[in-house]
Amino acid sequence: PGLREPLRGAVRYPEYITDDARLTLENAISAAQLGAWVANYAACEHFLLDDAGSVIGARVKDGRSGDAFDVAAGCVVNACGPWAEQVLEDAGMPVEKPLQPSKGIHLLLSADRLPIEGATFLKSRSGRRGLAMRRLDYIYVGTSDTEYDGPLDTPRATRAEVAELLAMVQDCFPDRGLRIEDVLATWAGIRPLIEEEGKTTRDTSREDEVWSGPDGLINIAGGKLTTYRRMAERAIDEVRGVLGPSPRNENRTATLALPGSPAGDVASFESGTEERLRAAGLNDATVARICWLYGRQIDDLLALAADDSGWLEPLGPGVPAVRGEVKLAVEREMASTLVDFMDRRSALLLFSPDFGLAGAREAAAIMGLLLGWDEERRSAEVARYQAYADEHRVPRE
């Protein structure tokens, strides 16, 4: 309803349900369950080389303590996304496949302002294309595609980019009367595209590439989040060429579901889980968000509540989250800052009213108890999160 005529067809687009941070975390959890050592806030300072110049490991710095240590390895994989080229340059190594970073932004709207279900492909009369996607009570719209040469750590949407993307949406839904004041939040990301001479980022291939060099180092770049399993398989095939065949089942993860994936019929799982959460006293908004985000790991949350029902108390007024989520994020998901929890574990930064700020102080208090923060540290974490949230508002003129 509300789409500009003529409507020519429709397709199913299941990829839109992906939560990038949760997908990444679930892969890390799965890897740990299968025997991998997983470290958070661990930065590669430089590669370790033998006398012949082959890579035999890395010097790694703990971002929390500041300690540095050597990690020896028979093979090192440079899978650093937009930073893959920088890693090689910092090591003084040749960059065989230069990258062309591309910035894409998204806008967040209330579903009341753009009442669609699922995902809708958009094409304005100017020829610009995009997608509008439903998540809970929100619609997020994307995306732009522009060359980017700014800081890779902190890409941000500009007001002009927001206005341009919103105009495309308004052109496709002319009766909605969308204004920039309707934009609840913005965010931006970087695509690590392999550079193709003479092409714009919009025309550059999204294919991934894997290459070796120097000895002992495998590099992978390009690609998309939704093709990550194929990319990982290609990279590991190269690793096998260095290390030789593994005595384990080489393809044991090819069809392995991620830890939070429900067994059996998803619809039955969702209805049954929603019933359990409502029986525990959670409101509809909290039930919907928790079911969307955690899947089968909701069992861990309910197990906490079996020992102490206080873990199912709301994190704050109007915040669709409960206190136990913070505990699980710290103890099982390596959350070590308030931003970690609010953005990269719980998705409250974007998919809760006013960035979930009403629950930030309580979340910091729980993290403080678990991690030994004093009151000064807790207040600093809340202040940092407030500033981080402000960076996701529509920039002022």
The residue extents of the domains of the chain are: 266-390
CB contact set of 51 (below 8 Å; sequence gap of 6+): none
Per the document, the length of the chain is 397
Task: Return the bridge partners of 106, or none.
Answer: 142, 187
| Model pTM score | 0.93
In angstroms, the first-to-last Cα distance of the chain is: 33
Give the right CATH number for 266-390 from 3.30.70.20, 3.40.190.150, 3.40.50.920, 1.10.8.870: 1.10.8.870
> What percent of the chain has pLDDT above 90?
78
162 vs 265, residue with greater confidence:
162
pLDDT at 378: 98
pLDDT at 375: 98
Report d(CA 105, CA 162) in Å as an integer: 8
Q: What is the pLDDT of residues 307-362, one digit of tens each?
A: 999 999 999 999 999 999 999 999 999 999 999 999 999 999 999 999 999 999 99
Q: How confident is the model at residue 251 (pLDDT cuts 50, 70, 90)?
A: low
Q: What is the pLDDT of residues 377-396, one digit of tens each?
A: 999 999 999 999 999 999 98
Burial 84-93 (b: 16+ CB within 10 A, else e): bbebbeebeb
| Residue corresponding to tokens 């873990």 | 311
